[in-house]
Amino acid sequence: MDNGDGVQWYSVPGRALVPLTEEAGLHIARRLRRELPRFEVRVDTAFDDVLEGCRGRLPGAPERDGEWISPELTDLYGHLHQTGLAHSFEVWQSGELAGGILGLALGGAFIAESKFHRVTNASKVAVIRLAEHVRARGFTLLDAQIQNPHLETLGVYEVSDEEYAPLLAAALKVNAAL
């Protein structure tokens, strides 16, 4: 994160985790379920655009509160993408990028750094489809980092640092690929 003092490491107390299946608590409202087929999923086809969307700099994406993704952090994410650690998980509608999630894949953990949308419900669809995608590829942990009302409607739940540490340790031992 860059809060104006340069790129630094930050951690939040506790973590917000996305259930990987409906059986595990992922909630998909009936109305939202009807939206799912209207979006196409792609991975890493528009990394720079997703990054810009998360920065609030992509046309049609809502402006973001604060600019924690500074130019220096943008360069760092680009480097991590080139090394295979940072990824864009994208949802497309009618051939246009509708929304996406920027994140890091570490072993069997996917750490969602930021998300954006240009189309109503696109970021919710992205979270749901990302949960399905990572689970199908052997990931055991989908970390949304910080809880918010939007994520809470999807069944995202918070765990303490003490609960999170062994989940992350176990996930890092998993060999999964996005």
Residue 173 has pLDDT above 60, yes or no: yes
The verdict on pTM exceeding 0.75 is yes
pLDDT tens profile 147-157: 999 899 999 99
**φ and ψ of 100, to 5 deg:** -175, 175
- Asked whether 141 and 168 are in contact (CB, 8 A), the reply is yes
Residues 40-66, mean pLDDT to the nearest whole number: 83
Q: Rounded to whole angstroms, how far apart are CA atoms 126 and 132?
A: 10
Residues 20-45, mean pLDDT to the nearest whole number: 97
Q: Which CATH class is domain 15-172?
A: alpha beta
**φ and ψ of 153, to 5 deg:** -65, -20
pLDDT tens profile 66-85: 467 888 888 999 999 999 99
- Average model confidence (pLDDT) for the chain? 90
pLDDT of residue 107: 97
Q: What does the DSSP assignment read for 137-164?
A: TT--EEEEES--HHHHTTT-EEE-HHHH
Residue 56 has pLDDT above 90, yes or no: no
Residue 55 has pLDDT above 70, yes or no: yes
- Tell me the angle at which helices 47-54 and 71-82 cross, rounded to the nearest 10 degrees: 150
17: burial class by Cβ within 10 Å (0-12, 13-18, 19+)?
buried
pLDDT of residue 66: 42
Residue 65 has pLDDT above 80, yes or no: no
Residue 1 has pLDDT above 50, yes or no: no
pLDDT of residue 40: 97
